[in-house]
C-alpha cells in the first residue's frame, strides 16, 4: 500500500500505462514542461519525451480532432482539457465523431481515447473554471463517462480507461486533487464501470460521485452521532450506470438521496431518481430526493459556497426523507 494524493494517483496511473504501451500519448495545454495547471502530468514529459507528452496550442477543438486521428491510426491518446468549462469548443467533435465512430462503422472502427476533465467548484476560480457538465456526455450514446473520488480509484481507473477500446470521458474532482489515501498498486479492486459501496448503512442510501463522495461520507458520520445509519455509494461510472449495485442498496435501505454539484434540473440525479423509482418502487419508503446545485450559471467565487451542496443541505434532505 502506498499513500498518495488523487493528483499523484492519476500521474502514477498515466506513467504505468505509458510504460506498458508505447502507443499511449498525452496531449494538452501546458501539460509538458509545466506539468499541467494542477501538476497532474508533472515529470512525464521529462521521462517520456516531447513526442509522447505533447504541449498543444490553446485550441480544444484542434486537440480533440488530432486525438481522433491518432486513435484511428492505432494510438491511445489521452487528452487533458485544462478546465471543465473549456470543453465546449470540442463539443461537436466529441458528440458527432468520438461517440459515433463505432456505430457508424458497424463496429469495424474504434476510438480508444481518453478525455481527462477536471470537474466541479470549490477552488475560488472565475467563470468557466468550476462547471459540472457531465450530464451532457452521459446523455450521449457511445461514450463511457466515469469519475474518480479517491486516490486508489484515480490510479486504477485512468489505466482501465486507457485500456478501453471505446472512448472514455474521465472526470477528476479538482478540489479533491490533494486529498490523500492508501493505494494498492498491485491489483485493481474493481472494474472500471462498477459502483462501490464505500460505507455500509441500513436507514438510507446516499448516492454520489466525484467531489460529493467525501461530503456524503462526512454526512454519514454526522448522522451516526444522531443514531442514523446511512449507506454511501460511489457511482464511479455515470454512463453506463451499475444499476445492480444501486438497486441492491436501494432495496436494502428503502430511502435514497442523490447528491451532485451539477444543477438538479435534468442532471444525473433526475435519471437516477427515475430509474430507481421505476425499478424499486415497492421497496421505497420515501421518494428519491436530490441535492445539487441550482439551475443558474456558476456564481462568482464569493458565492460558490452558497451554490454548492454542503453537509447541512445533505443532512436536511436526509431528515426530510426519514420523516416519511
Q: Which residues contact 104 (CB under 8 A, 6 or more apart)?
A: none
Mapped onto helix, strand or coil, the DSSP state of residue 102 is helix
CB-CB contact of 222 with 318 (8 Å): no
Put residue 27 in one of left, alpha, beta given phi > 0 → left and psi -120 to 50 → alpha.
beta
Query: Can you tell me which residue has the cell 451539477?
Result: 262
Neighbour-count burial of 55, counting CB atoms closer than 10 A to its CB (0-12 exposed, 13-18 middle, 19+ buried):
middle
The question of whether 129 is a catalytic residue gets the answer: yes
C-alpha cell at 38: 494542477
Dist CA 30 CA 28 (whole Å): 6
Alpha helices in 89-187 (DSSP H): 91-92, 101-104, 134-138, 151-163
Dist CA 192 CA 119 (whole Å): 19
Q: Which of 128, 129, 139, 260 is catalytic?
A: 129
Half-sphere exposure (CA, 13 Å, Cβ side) for 190? Answer: 17
Half-sphere exposure (CA, 13 Å, Cβ side) for 46? Answer: 6
**What is the set of active-site residues?**
129
Amino acid at each position: 500500500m502506498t499513500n498518495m494524493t488523487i493528483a499523484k494517483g492519476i500521474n502514477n496511473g498515466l506513467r504505468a500505462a505509458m510504460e506498458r504501451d508505447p502507443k499511449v500519448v498525452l496531449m494538452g495545454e501546458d501539460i509538458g514542461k509545466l506539468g499541467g495547471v494542477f501538476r497532474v502530468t508533472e515529470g512525464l514529459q521529462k521521462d517520456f519525451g516531447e513526442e509522447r507528452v505533447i504541449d498543444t496550442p490553446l485550441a480544444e477543438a484542434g486537440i480533440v480532432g488530432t486525438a481522433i486521428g491518432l486513435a484511428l491510426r492505432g494510438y491511445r491518446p489521452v487528452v487533458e482539457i485544462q478546465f471543465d468549462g473549456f470543453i465546449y469548443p470540442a463539443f461537436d467533435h466529441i458528440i458527432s465523431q468520438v461517440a459515433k465512430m463505432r456505430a457508424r462503422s458497424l463496429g469495424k472502427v474504434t476510438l480508444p481515447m481518453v478525455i481527462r476533465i477536471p470537474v466541479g467548484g470549490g477552488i475560488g476560480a472565475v467563470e468557466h473554471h468550476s462547471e459540472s457538465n457531465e450530464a451532457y456526455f452521459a446523455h450521449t450514446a457511445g461514450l463511457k463517462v466515469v469519475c474518480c473520488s479517491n486516490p486508489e480509484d484515480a490510479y486504477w481507473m485512468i489505466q482501465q480507461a486507457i485500456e478501453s477500446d471505446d472512448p472514455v470521458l474521465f472526470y477528476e474532482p479538482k478540489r479533491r486533487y490533494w486529498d490523500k489515501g492508501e493505494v494498492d498498486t498491485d491489483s485493481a479492486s474493481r472494474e472500471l464501470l462498477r459502483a462501490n459501496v464505500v460505507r455500509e448503512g441500513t436507514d438510507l442510501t446516499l448516492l454520489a460521485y466525484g467531489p460529493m463522495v467525501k461530503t456524503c461520507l462526512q454526512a454519514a458520520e454526522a448522522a451516526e452521532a444522531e443514531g442514523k445509519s446511512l449507506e454511501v455509494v460511489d457511482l464511479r461510472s455515470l454512463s453506463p450506470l451499475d444499476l445492480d449495485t444501486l438497486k441492491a442498496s436501494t432495496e436494502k435501505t428503502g430511502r435514497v438521496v442523490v447528491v451532485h454539484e451539477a444543477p438538479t434540473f435534468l442532471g444525473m440525479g433526475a435519471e437516477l431518481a427515475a430509474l430507481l423509482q421505476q425499478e424499486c418502487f415497492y421497496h421505497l419508503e420515501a421518494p428519491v430526493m436530490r441535492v445539487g446545485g441550482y439551475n443558474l450559471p456558476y456564481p462568482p467565487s464569493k458565492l460558490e459556497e452558497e451554490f454548492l451542496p454542503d453537509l447541512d443541505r445533505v443532512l436536511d434532505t436526509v431528515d426530510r426523507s426519514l420523516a416519511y
